[in-house]
Structure 1
Amino acid sequence: MSVVGGHYRLAFTQSILAFTQVFNAATHYQLDYPDLVLILALVRGGSLARAAALLKVDVSTVFRAVRRLEAGLGQALFEKSRAGYLPTSLAHTLAEQAERAEQALDAARVGVEQGGEVISGTVRLTCTDSVLHALLLPALAQFMPGYPALTLELSTSNDFANLSRRDADIALRLTQAPPEHLVGRRLATVSYRVCASVNYLQSVDPGELARQSWIAPDDFLPDHPTVTWRRQQLPGVQPSYRCNSMLAVTELVRAGLGVAALPDFLIDPGQGLRPLSEPLLGYDTSLWLLTRPDCRALRSVVTLFDELARAIRLPA
């Protein structure tokens, strides 16, 4: 086995030995990996039938194995109820250990197959919900299957506070001026167009934008480029709908409730949206991939950062 495989097997063995010593002291039962696999399957499945399907055995085998394990440990791991098998706090703890062991073994296998270093750890990433759905998720689908030992925690937000408070390691943000204390890469220019749905356009004259029913970001996004443009170019317009995210604005437009200025990566003609204007000149912004300077020493963060920089592409 390679050094990588040996490293993860050592970590796995140490984890199992630690729990084995605890239980041996109290019960003299020798907890082993198949026990953890059983517990994890029942926690995930919630019933004997689903656990049996996960383990590819019959239900009676799972039932007898759980009974033997609980008898050996001298305490219950699950409580039977109408909802199924409910795990105790001990079962939850053991299931967490089983998941770590599972991830370590997966990472070791990948390391052996690839003959290189396995990237592992947890990276916290923040972005807006519109960027998440339109740009981030397609990018993650391209490369994350190749990093089975890498865990990604996602949160949606419209500000930079996550990185500043160290609540996140990487941020995808639409801005013209990222904070100076962050480092990163400008990925693309994002422009905006006034759009409406095909259904909405069937009942209105799109020639006069000021006479339309407008959908706009609310006061949570006071400096959004589309808000600035509307106030300067259509000062008399009072939006009929206000939303706290551009994804919500887009959904209302798609539902035929009015018009809005949308970023180009959210304008999908295949979903019934039609541009009513050319790009709003002078009101575009940039998509930035950002991190903290101290995160550049973390292999997991650097790897995810580089993969995102390669994979994120705005629609042509």
Structure 2
Amino acid sequence: MLIPGAHYRLAFTQVILAFAQVFNALTHYQLDYPDLALILALVRGGSLARAAALLKVDVSTVFRAVRRLEAALGQALFEKSRAGYLPTTLARTLAEQAERAEQALEAARIGVEQGGEVISGTVRLTCTDSVLHALLLPALAQFMLAYPALTLELSTSNDFANLSRRDADIALRLTRSPPEHLVGRRLGAVSYRVCASTAYLKSVEPSDLTQLSWIAPDDFLPDHPTVIWRRQQFPGVLPSYRCNSMLSVTELVRAGLGVAALPDFLIDPAQGLRPLSEPLLGYDTSLWLLTRPDCRALRSVVTLFDELSHWVRLPDQERC
């Protein structure tokens, strides 16, 4: 009978054996875990000194071990340069496998400590930078400590290409109509208001919005609701500043450089932002939590999806 976490050790062993068999066939040298740990430390550290610190050995030990391993494999793993030790394609591939083995061992350790199976693996999550800072990070802080064997890879993007290309497993997106090939949950409505900083308002007369300095998304976001609204309501206004993200737009407004239409989850009076308008009627959108249908079979993805559904909250929403 397998003890808790034994299946993780089995997976780790299978990873090692699979690569050992490949290299044994090519070089008659059988890789073991210390070899992979050495490669991983040098890839992460980029130099003999940093690798030695990670492995808790002296520099000469790392140097001799790398030379012995390259000689045994019959090919170089690193290119020596003034910048340090640069990994070859083979070294990067082996380092990735070493990380998987490392994660499997960590999951096994946690499983033994907790007396049962744990949620483990890597989940790739994508969202915009504004959603990341204002909504996702506060949510992750609420529950991620309960999943020490779960690894997240976070990326910021403004489109759905990450999920469509299978570069991500979960996405948090602002949209009225998510792509039909994705599945998910609508987490709530998002409205926009024209805002300015209290410092900026001390130097201008806010009654005529057309006379103020405008900050707006650039051509990277041509279909953004605030761009469409401004062009329809104030066709003669040319923004004084353009940014490639709503988070950057918000930072410029907060710095007192002008006004902008911002999503309500970025409007924080405690940070000196003051609304100058009611919500822009007809230009609201929704926050969606999305994934691919095939990801619903992955326990790690389903677990993170459910936790985010519970903890990601827009302003004025109560958690059930």
TM-score band (shorter)? 0.7 to 0.9
CA apart distance, 1:263: 1.0
Distance 1:29 1:283, change over 3 A: closer
CA apart distance, 1:287: 1.4
Q: What is residue 125 of structure 1 aligned with on the other side?
A: 125
Is 1:265 aligned to residue 284 of structure 2? no
Distance 1:183 1:18, change over 3 A: closer
Q: What is residue 116 of structure 2 aligned with on the other side?
A: 116
Q: What is residue 15 of structure 2 aligned with on the other side?
A: 15
Q: For 1:183 and 1:62, how far apart are their aligned partners in 2?
A: 48
Q: For 2:90 and 2:183, how far apart are their aligned partners in 1?
A: 43
Could you give the per-residue CA deviations for residues 151-196 of structure 1, whole angstroms, max 9, x where no partner exists? 4444433344544555543221223343455432222332322212
CA apart distance, 1:223: 4.7
Q: What is residue 105 of structure 1 aligned with on the other side?
A: 105
SS at 1:112's partner residue? helix
Q: For 1:31 and 1:181, how far apart are their aligned partners in 2?
A: 43
Distance 1:28 1:132, change over 3 A: same
Distance 1:294 1:274, change over 3 A: same
SS at 2:274's partner residue? strand
Q: What is residue 51 of structure 2 aligned with on the other side?
A: 51
Q: For 1:37 and 1:166, how far apart are their aligned partners in 2?
A: 29
Aligned AA for 1:309? S
| Greater alpha carbon shift after TM alignment, 155-164 vs 50-59 | 155-164
Could you give the per-residue CA deviations for residues 215-257 of structure 1, whole angstroms, max 9, x where no partner exists? 2234554553334543555455343334443223223323332
Distance 1:83 1:234, change over 3 A: closer
Runs of 5+ consecutive residues of structure 2 not aligned to the other structure: none
| Greater alpha carbon shift after TM alignment, 306-315 vs 47-56 | 306-315
Aligned AA for 1:130? S
Distance 1:30 1:296, change over 3 A: closer
Q: For 1:23 and 1:166, how far apart are their aligned partners in 2?
A: 30
Distance 1:165 1:74, change over 3 A: closer
Q: What is residue 65 of structure 2 aligned with on the other side?
A: 65
Q: For 2:70 and 2:224, how far apart are their aligned partners in 1?
A: 58
Distance 1:293 1:274, change over 3 A: same
Query: Map of 1:142-161 to 2, 5 A cutoff?
Result: 142-161=142-161
Is 1:194 aligned to residue 226 of structure 2? no
Runs of 5+ consecutive residues of structure 1 not aligned to the other structure: none
Identity in percent: 88
Q: For 1:165 and 1:89, how far apart are their aligned partners in 2?
A: 23
Number of aligned positions between the proteins: 316
CA apart distance, 1:266: 1.5
TM-score, with structure 1 as normaliser: 0.84
CA apart distance, 1:306: 0.6
Q: For 1:59 and 1:235, how far apart are their aligned partners in 2?
A: 65
Distance 1:235 1:15, change over 3 A: closer
1:197·1:256 contact (CA, 8 Å) conserved in 2?
Answer: yes
CA apart distance, 1:135: 1.5
Q: For 2:301 and 2:205, how far apart are their aligned partners in 1?
A: 50
2:210·2:234 contact (CA, 8 Å) conserved in 1?
Answer: yes
| Greater alpha carbon shift after TM alignment, 184-193 vs 258-267 | 184-193
Q: For 2:254 and 2:5, how far apart are their aligned partners in 1?
A: 50
CA apart distance, 1:291: 2.6
SS at 1:65's partner residue? helix
Could you give the per-residue CA deviations for residues 96-141 of structure 1, whole angstroms, max 9, x where no partner exists? 2211110111111222223333334443433222212222233234
CA apart distance, 1:301: 2.1
2:103·2:121 contact (CA, 8 Å) conserved in 1?
Answer: no
1:103·1:148 contact (CA, 8 Å) conserved in 2?
Answer: no
2:196·2:256 contact (CA, 8 Å) conserved in 1?
Answer: yes
